Amino acid sequence: MNKHSIEGRKPLNNFQHCLKIMRITLSFLFFCILFSSASNSYSQKFTIKSKTASIKEVCKEIEKGSDYVFIFSDNCEKLIDKQVNVEANSKNVTEILDELLFDTGLIYKILDKQIVIYKYTDDTPFIDVAQPDINVMQQPAKKQITGKVLNAQ
C-alpha cells in the first residue's frame, strides 16, 4: 500500500500536479485578460495638431483612430467645411468636439458609438433618448356617457 494515498486514490506525480496548477493559472490569466480588454473604449485620448483643417477632416481623423462614426445633419453642410485650428494633446472626444464646435453654431450628441453633428436653431426640438417614466404619464380625463339602451346590439 502506498502511504501517500488517501482513501484509495492514486497520488499525482509531480508532473501531473504541475500541469494541473499551470492549467488553473492559465485559465485565470485568460479570464483576467478577457475582462480587462472588455473595458469601455469611450475614454480614448487623441492627439491632433492641425492648422487650417476643416471640421469634417478633423472628424474623419477621429473616426480613423476610434470606433466612433460621425453623422452630419443636412442643415450643417456649409458649416462643416469651415477651417479651424485644432491643437489637442491627449484629450477625450468630448473635449475635442467642444473646442472644435465652439462658436460655430453646431452642436453634437453622442449616441453609443455614433456622434451626430447638427446645426443648433431656436426651433430645434429637444429629443430626450431616455425612456419615459410610466408613473408621470397622465391618465385621460374621465367622460360620463348617458343614454338609453334599447337592445343588445
Please check the confidence at residue 15 and state whether its pLDDT lies above 90. no
Separation between Cα atoms, residue 85 and residue 52, nearest integer Å: 5
Separation between Cα atoms, residue 47 and residue 127, nearest integer Å: 32
Residue 12 or residue 141, greater confidence: 141
Please check the confidence at residue 39 and state whether its pLDDT lies above 50. no
Per-residue pLDDT tens over the stretch 92-145 = 888 889 888 888 888 999 888 899 998 887 765 555 555 555 555 566 677 788
Q: Answer yes or no: are the C-beta atoms of 51 and 58 closer than 8 Å.
A: no
DSSP per-residue string spanning 15-84: HHHHHHHHHHHHHHHHHHHHHHHTS-GGG--EEEEEEEEEHHHHHHHHHHTSS-EEEE-GGGTTGGG-EE
Per-residue pLDDT tens over the stretch 52-63 = 888 889 899 888
pTM summary value = 0.52
Q: Is 92 exposed, middle or buried (0-12, 13-18, 19+ CB in 10 A)?
A: middle
- 42-119 fold: Phage tail protein beta-alpha-beta fold (3.55.50)
Residue 72 or residue 143, greater confidence: 72
